[in-house]
């Protein structure tokens, strides 16, 4: 509804500007010469106003297309000016709104219509009509495909998140039911085993909820450029301590302790980014092999790379790894305690920092994930 209102407002505003440009009043409506369609010459203010729009825009008068901008000609045909609007926009909803008498502006639904089938068959358009006050109507066609894709992503995300939470919850409920039954609950050993599984499933749900909350917090802050000065070397030292329980004897090696390791950032989020990359390197790297962290200045950025010696990732998966819940091997990820959100969080933190993420991997050798973050000294002087 908001997009309807905005589109309607913009169209009405343009309508007012055009009416002003033409020096016409609303009461001139009856005096508009019949058959004055296709009468917009180059140099006419309407032509330059229409040209200012990127999306397809037309002026319709007496059922005919009186003027069209380049985008409208590209979508509907090069020679639509002067053509009956029902032929120019072949859609019943368009014919109803453009070939009949002008609609009452209070009737929102008469001024807007969803249209599919113009140009690319499946592309959805929102047509909005604004009466111009001189008997003609301004028609805007706004491409809805991006809005639809965003909406679809949101729907998929909610469905995926619900599914991810429901699976451990179902396991928990199943074991709870069993434990309630004295006989089925079995001996102390069996109960301890069940409790361990229940604990792991509850932990998985907690981790998932923590990651979901992190993602939404990071997204909420995406336009606020972080301004702290963060020393990446000290972050790595901290991470080494925090991850000790996960290392089980493996080495976490910091290479190139460069002095230019200070970046402009959000310390908490960068600690989370580093943690996610290190945890992945430990999870997917071969047992016993070291994980290396390399920090090096790179122009106006600092490059932070986490390198493991693991199985590597097939090239076809790499572009999708930062999608929420995308996993190369779902059961492996779950088995090692993954939520499927680690790299999505990394991507969003990098975006907020106006940085860049690169993933390079060789099957059988390992994976190197690099993030480029703005150097603090560059940001301070700019
Ligand atoms: P998860 O919680 O499943 O690890 P991520 O978003 O962190 O989720 O990673 C997405 C997927 O990318 C993982 O499930 C795994 O298949 C793959 N992946 C991430 N990092 C590595 C790595 N260092 N080596 C191999 N595969 C990796």
Instruction: Quick: pLDDT tens for 223-273.
Output: 999 989 999 999 999 999 999 998 988 999 998 766 668 999 999 999 999
Which of 30-39, 49-58, 70-79, 117-126 shows the lowest per-residue confidence on average (mean pLDDT)?
30-39
Where is pLDDT greater, at 35 or 176? 176
- 229 and 357 in a single domain? The answer is yes
Q: Give the pLDDT mean for 285-291.
A: 95
For residue 282, how far is its CA from the centre of ligand 1 (angstroms)? 10
Domain boundary among the residues 185, 202, 220 is at 220
DSSP string, 304-348: EEEEE-BS---GGGGGGTTSTT--SSHHHHHHTT--S-HHHHHHH
Atom 7 of ligand 1: nearest residue by CA position: 342
Cβ count near 10 (within 10 Å): 15
The residues, any chain, with a CB within 8 Å of residue 125's CB and separated by 6 or more, are 114, 115, 116, 118, 141, 142, 143, 144
The residue segments making up the domain with residue 290 are: 224-382
Query: What residue owns the CA closest to ligand 1's atom 5?
Result: 342
Q: Pick the range with the lowest mean pLDDT from 28-32, 35-39, 243-247, 288-292.
A: 28-32
Kindly report the protein residue whose alpha carbon is nearest to atom 20 of ligand 1.
280
Determine the pLDDT at residue 58.
94
pLDDT at 280 over 70: yes
Residue listed under structure tokens 């407002």: 9
Taking the centre of ligand 1 as the mean of its atom positions, its distance from the CA of residue 141, in whole angstroms, is 42
Does residue 358 line the site of ligand 1, with CB under 6 A? no
Residue 149 shares a structural domain with residue 25: no
- If asked whether residues 204 and 236 sit together in one domain, one would say no
Q: How many domains does the chain have?
A: 3
85/40 same-domain check: yes
Q: Is the CB of 346 under 6 A from ligand 1?
A: no
The reply to whether 292 and 206 lie within a common domain is: no
Distance 280 CA to ligand 1 centre (A): 6
User: Is the model's pLDDT at 348 over the cut of 80?
Assistant: yes
pTM of the model: 0.76
Distance 321 CA to ligand 1 centre (A): 7
CATH number, residue 183: 1.10.287.130
Find the CATH number of the domain harbouring 286.
3.30.565.10
Best mutation site among 306, 336, 342 for ligand 1, i.e. most ligand atoms within 8 A of its Cβ?
342
Residue-wise pLDDT tens digits, 319-330: 999 999 999 999
Which domain-ending residue is among 220, 245, 261?
220
Residues 128, 160 within the same domain: no
Whether residue 367 has its Cβ less than 6 Å from ligand 1: yes
Same domain, 152 and 137: no
CA 36/CA 246 separation, integer angstroms: 78
Check whether residue 372 and residue 235 sit in a common domain: yes
Burial bucket for residue 154 (CB in 10 Å: 0-12, 13-18, 19+): exposed
pLDDT of residue 6: 47
Nearest to 342, CA basis, from 359, 354, 355: 359
pLDDT of residue 43: 65
Whole-number pLDDT of residue 258:
61
Same domain, 31 and 95: yes
Residues of the chain with pLDDT > 90, as a percent, come to 64
Boundary of a domain, candidates 116, 143, 170? 143
Q: Is 127's pLDDT higher than 50?
A: yes
Q: Are 164 and 212 within one domain?
A: yes
The CA 199 to ligand 1 mean position distance, Å, reads 23
- My answer on whether 209 and 236 are in the same domain is no
Averaged pLDDT, 122-127 = 91
Q: Is 342 in the pocket of ligand 1 (CB under 6 A)?
A: yes
Q: How far does the centroid of ligand 1 lie from the alpha carbon of residue 182, in Å?
A: 41
Do residue 132 and residue 249 come from a single domain?
A: no
> What is the CATH number for 22?
3.30.450.20
Residue 103 confidence (pLDDT):
67
Q: What is the pLDDT of residue 55?
A: 94
Of 40, 67, 38, 72, nearest to 55 by C-alpha is 72
């Amino acid at each position: 509804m908001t997009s309807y209102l905005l589109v309607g407002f913009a169209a009405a505003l343009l309508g007012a500007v055009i009416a002003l440009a033409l020096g016409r009043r609303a009461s001139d409506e009856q005096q508009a010469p019949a058959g004055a369609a296709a009468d917009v010459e180059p140099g006419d203010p309407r032509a330059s106003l229409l040209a200012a729009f990127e999306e397809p825009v037309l002026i319709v008068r007496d059922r005919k297309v009186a003027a069209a901008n380049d985008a409208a000609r590209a979508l509907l045909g090069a020679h639509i000016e002067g053509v009956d609007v029902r032929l120019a926009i072949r859609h019943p909803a368009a014919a109803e709104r453009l070939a009949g008498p002008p609609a009452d502006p209070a009737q929102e639904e008469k001024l807007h219509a969803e249209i599919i089938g113009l140009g690319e068959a499946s592309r959805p358009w929102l047509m909005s009509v604004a009466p111009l006050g001189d008997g003609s109507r301004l028609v805007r066609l706004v491409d809805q495909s991006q809005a639809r894709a965003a909406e679809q992503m949101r729907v998929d995300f909610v469905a995926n998140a619900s599914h991810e939470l429901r699976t451990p919850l179902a396991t928990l409920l199943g074991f709870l039911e069993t434990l309630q039954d004295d006989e089925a609950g079995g001996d102390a050993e069996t109960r301890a085993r069940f409790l361990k599984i229940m604990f792991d499933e509850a932990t998985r749900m907690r981790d998932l909820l923590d990651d979901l909350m992190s993602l939404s917090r990071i997204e909420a802050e995406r336009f606020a450029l972080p301004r702290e000065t963060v020393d990446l070397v000290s972050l790595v030292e901290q991470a080494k301590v925090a991850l000790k329980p996960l290392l089980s004897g493996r080495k976490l090696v910091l290479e190139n302790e460069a002095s230019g390791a200070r970046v402009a950032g959000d310390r908490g989020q960068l600690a989370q980014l580093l943690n996610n990359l290190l945890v992945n390197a430990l999870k997917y790297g071969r047992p016993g092999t070291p994980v290396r962290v390399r920090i090096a200045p790179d122009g106006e950025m600092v490059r932070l790379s986490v390198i493991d010696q693991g199985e590597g990732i097939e090239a076809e998966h790499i572009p999708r790894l930062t999608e929420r819940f995308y996993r190369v091997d779902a059961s492996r990820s779950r088995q090692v305690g993954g939520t499927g959100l680690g790299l999505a969080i990394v991507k969003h933190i990098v975006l907020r920092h106006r940085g860049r993420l690169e993933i390079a991997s060789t099957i059988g050798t390992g994976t190197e994930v690099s993030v480029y973050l703005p150097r603090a000294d560059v940001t301070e002087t700019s």
